Structure 1
Amino acid sequence: METIARNSIKKGVASALTITSAVLVLMMIFGVMMLLNQGNTIKISPQLFYEIMTIHGTGMVGIAALGGSAIMWYFLSKYIQLNPKIFFTNLFLTLIGVIMVLAAIFVFNFSDGWTFLYPLPSASAKIYGTTGALLFLFGLLILGIGYLIMYFYIAARLIKEYGGLGKSLGWDYIFRGKKGYGPPSAVVASTMVIIANSVGVLAGATALVESIINILFPAVSFDPMMAKHLTYAFGHIFANCTIYMAVIAVYEILSEYTGRPWKSNKAFLIAWNCSTLFTLMIYTHHLLMDFAVPQWMLIIGQVFSYANGLPVMVVTAYGALMIVFRSAVKWDFASSMMFLAMFGWVAGAVPAIIDATIVVNHVMHNTKWVPGHFHTYMGMGVIAMIFGFMYYFNKTEGTQKQTGTDQFAIAIYFLFFSGLAGSFLYAGKISVPRRWAEHLPEWTGSDQIGAICGAFVIIAAVIFTTRFIYGLRNVGKKPQEKIFKSVS
């Protein structure tokens, strides 16, 4: 039974990664199309631009979450027994949600952006009809239900195995003086994700239901500011938790490659507990330009945005350096991507912290500076971890071997993604607005450079994806297949 369950877990992870890599390439193509339009290299209608912008933002974060959940599920199954049917349920609901969102955007012209800020969906419904708006809102709602099912199930398994979520976060070692090391890093990170992201998804679901009710019953209205708080709490937490799921691969893979366990010492546990709390609080740095927000909330958003960059990121980045230092690590595709992803994460956090400063935010937040920081930590952080895990999965479960093409693709990916992120940050520096379909002539240079860099990033991503799908045919063909133990 254990072997059957393990094979089902591998099939689920392989399916999720295949979908993730394919959709990532599609979202990258959409991103380059927007840059080419802003750079006056091609011409698309404003309506199509905002449709593409809506799917690019929604799809990129959503698919990164699917890849991150595959990483979390794969490694967490080393320590607790998991039912593969739960993962397939989340995967199925995710696909249903994605199909509904795609239909809403490209068939029924929904183009309100990923933020779906109330009452914009109602306004769109009056212009283009209710079908598109409701398809988008219900699609996101179904997607969120899938994640809640998975998170609640994992929470139940962790409670059964460790005696409570507090214990799987290491509270015995932090507060009760228990000696030794805490739960495995994958368990600690997973606990943080299911707590924080469950809150985030529920906040988003509340905002979605409000918009749905308002469309179906226009006489029923809600507080727009409260809806905005719920929406940005959802968006910020969900996006952050993609990297907290994906970083589990860094802990597990670098530990395996160096032969040094990534121990959950007290500093590590305190860092993850702080991040659990801070991640729930700092969404307010997205609202620093809203004069109606209470000042104390804005101060919290600024102060704890600074603080949140330190616990997990510094502990993980420093830990990655220390675990590799003077080790016999073998540098291949997986280990290289994991190590370079630490650079992407840290580099992406720096402009984010700068933007979280109130006086800077008032000038920079509605410029391309924000997508600059987001693309840095998402593309060179989260996505790099996912691509690295894809190679590791094929190598561990199959017989894939690295080639010179892989090394070339890594160099192309990070070199040109640095150029892409740099073009966004430079555009922010010269006050190029974000979310504009058309740009003034003096802004188009950065757009064109970004589009060129993006095209090379797509080439690298296509190589990663092709190599991964090709390598899946060898999964399960190792002479002595590696079987992870289940604790319970």
Structure 2
Amino acid sequence: MAKTETTYPISRATKKGVVGHLAVAATVLILMMAFGIIMLFNQGGLITISPDLFYSIMTVHGIGMVGMASLGGAAIMWYFLCKYVPLNPKVLMTNLVLSVIGIAMILIAAFVFKFSDAWTFLYPLPSVSAKQHGMAGAMFFLNGVLFVGVGFLIMYLEIGRKIAKQYGGLMNGLGWDMLFGKSDKHYGPPAAVVASTMVVICNSTAILAGATVIIMSIINILNPSIVFDALLAKHLTYAFGHIFANATIYMAVVGVYEILAKYADRPWKANKVFLIAWNFSTLFTLMIYTHHLLMDFAVPKWMLLIGQIFSYANGLPVMVVTAYGALMIVYRSGLRWDMASGLMFLAMFGWVGGAVPAIIDATIVVNHVMHNTKWVPGHFHIYMGLGVTIMIIAFMYYYNKVEGNRRDHSWDRISAAFYTVFFLGLTGSFLYAGKISAPRRWAVHLPEWMLSDIVGGISACFVLAATISFTLRFFANVKYTRTANTTEEMVHDTTSLMKKSS
């Protein structure tokens, strides 16, 4: 097995691909936030849009946010992983091109051809939409999602192939050689390699499940006499959607391992506890999509029990070792906090905070009452907005500091404070709306639900303003022309920059 200490320079082509992913992710994020505000103000009665437009926006908002998080997470994962594993930057750019094409097709489907089956596109809804609004909308949407999936699958195959070559097998990327006594090393591969291996396994499986149901839906639209088992289609859809959305944070968390360790000048070592946690999370992540099916009486009870029990278990292994590890890394390290390190640490709170209401919702008796209320977008927005998105923004600041010698400004800290406070207001309004049984996915709300919608919409306006500020700061300072650095040089550069920071 190759030495895990081997490092490779980060090429200019890689930096271009990383910046491209971040630029598209940031642009999509701002657009999706604006769509979210429109929906909240419509539900709150402050503006009025047609139900058709509302559901088109809702469809784009849901799948757009997952796509944004995936692109940003991929940028983080690829940037740090390519220091340990020699990756082909052309593959990263291929993913970006296919994703942009897919995003454009999804937008055309929703706003030109009025496709509005929600981001889950549950079979046979695409076929119903094709009959109502014409075949073009459904075909653009399904093929758009397929383009995005193929781009990511190509990327994962490249990562998996190179990890297997570097470490003597893909599963050794999860430390199996050390866990099962085939290696005398005290630590496994770098944390970035372990997390990336998990993502490759889970998301490759998810994409294949999604491709299956998408292709079957396309066939059904072209030839309605060919039908598909609806319950199997739902399983495949949620196996794709839940795993793919869940894995966004597992890509982004690579930034936590790398950035906090560099700032604290302490290596994040993959000991046996760390490796066991990631192996369990790999298995659980593939299983727990069934908690989306708790209200389906036709699903076997043993599958529902898996959905409940392992939804509890899945939130613990990686989250605990990562949160605890982050605390130990920074404890008495003399770390000088800046936007990158501070936001990465804040993201730990978002991850943990988003998991708590999710675990509550995964309880069957609670799920029967709460799952179709705004409680669900409440927990998911905490997870995505204060977890994944914060990690992506933190990486944007880190990238510009390391590659462009940018220094933080007081306005950055003000923007971060506004983002955090008002995002808590937004998610709090969702959770409260769930408590009073306000339904999700309804274009029109009763008067007693509207106050929470208005509070959420106003809070979201401040969040959007802060996000625009982050994005403008990134674009104003971004560079990818700096000569390639080794890991050791980047550590030295980062340390020097932190000492210069105020």
**Which TM bucket (shorter chain)?**
over 0.9
Amino acid at match of 2:403: E
Mapping for residues 411-422 of structure 1, pairs under 5 Å? 411-422=417-428
Match of 1:311 in 2: 317
Q: Does 1:251 align with 2:254?
A: no
Mapping for residues 432-443 of structure 1, pairs under 5 Å? 432-443=438-449
Match of 1:454 in 2: 460
Amino acid at match of 2:362: A
TM-score between both structures, scaled by the size of structure 2: 0.94
Q: Which runs of 5+ in 2 are unaligned?
A: 1-6, 490-502
Distance in structure 2 (CA, Å) of the matches to 1:15 and 1:476: 14
Match of 1:482 in 2: 485
Q: Deviation digits for residues 87-124 of structure 1, max 9, x if unmatched?
A: 00111100111111111110000000001100000000
**SS in structure 2 of the partner of residue 255 of structure 1:** helix
Q: Deviation digits for residues 25-64 of structure 1, max 9, x if unmatched?
A: 1100100110000000111110000000000001010111
Q: Which runs of 5+ in 1 are unaligned?
A: none
Q: 1:74 aligns with which of 57, 73, 79?
A: 79
Amino acid at match of 2:48: K
In structure 2, relative to structure 1, the CA distance for the partners of 1:307 and 1:121 (3 Å cut) is: same
Distance in structure 2 (CA, Å) of the matches to 1:365 and 1:241: 21
**SS in structure 2 of the partner of residue 437 of structure 1:** coil
| Deviation (angstroms), 1:231 | 0.3
Q: List, as ranges, runs of 4+ consecutive aligned residues in structure 1 with deviation greater than 2 Å.
A: 2-5, 474-477, 480-486
Q: 1:99 aligns with which of 104, 122, 147?
A: 104
Q: 1:424 aligns with which of 406, 430, 434?
A: 430
CA contact (8 A) 1:394 1:475 kept: no
Distance in structure 1 (CA, Å) of the matches to 2:128 and 2:440: 22
| Deviation (angstroms), 1:483 | 3.5
Distance in structure 1 (CA, Å) of the matches to 2:382 and 2:216: 33
Q: CA RMSD in A?
A: 1.4
Q: Deviation digits for residues 447-478 of structure 1, max 9, x if unmatched?
A: 00000110000011000000000001x5435x
CA contact (8 A) 2:10 2:486 kept: no
Distance in structure 1 (CA, Å) of the matches to 2:24 and 2:144: 17
Match of 1:41 in 2: 46
Match of 2:289 in 1: 283
Amino acid at match of 1:262: W
Q: Does 1:59 align with 2:74?
A: no
Match of 1:336 in 2: 342
Match of 1:131 in 2: 136
Q: 1:211 aligns with which of 217, 230, 233?
A: 217
**SS in structure 2 of the partner of residue 221 of structure 1:** coil
Q: Deviation digits for residues 206-245 of structure 1, max 9, x if unmatched?
A: 1101110000010000100000000001010000110000
| Deviation (angstroms), 1:484 | 4.1
- Equivalenced residues, count: 482
Distance in structure 2 (CA, Å) of the matches to 1:363 and 1:127: 32
Q: Deviation digits for residues 320-350 of structure 1, max 9, x if unmatched?
A: 1111111111100000100000000000000
Distance in structure 2 (CA, Å) of the matches to 1:133 and 1:430: 35
| Deviation (angstroms), 1:142 | 1.2
Match of 2:190 in 1: 184
Distance in structure 2 (CA, Å) of the matches to 1:484 and 1:13: 17
Amino acid at match of 1:321: L
| Deviation (angstroms), 1:176 | 1.5
Q: Does 1:7 align with 2:12?
A: yes
Distance in structure 2 (CA, Å) of the matches to 1:175 and 1:436: 51
Match of 1:465 in 2: 471
**SS in structure 2 of the partner of residue 78 of structure 1:** coil
Match of 1:22 in 2: 27
Match of 1:223 in 2: 229
Q: 2:393 aligns with which of 387, 395, 409?
A: 387
Q: Deviation digits for residues 398-450 of structure 1, max 9, x if unmatched?
A: 12110000000110111110111110000001110000000000000100000
CA contact (8 A) 2:353 2:382 kept: yes
**SS in structure 1 of the partner of residue 38 of structure 2:** helix
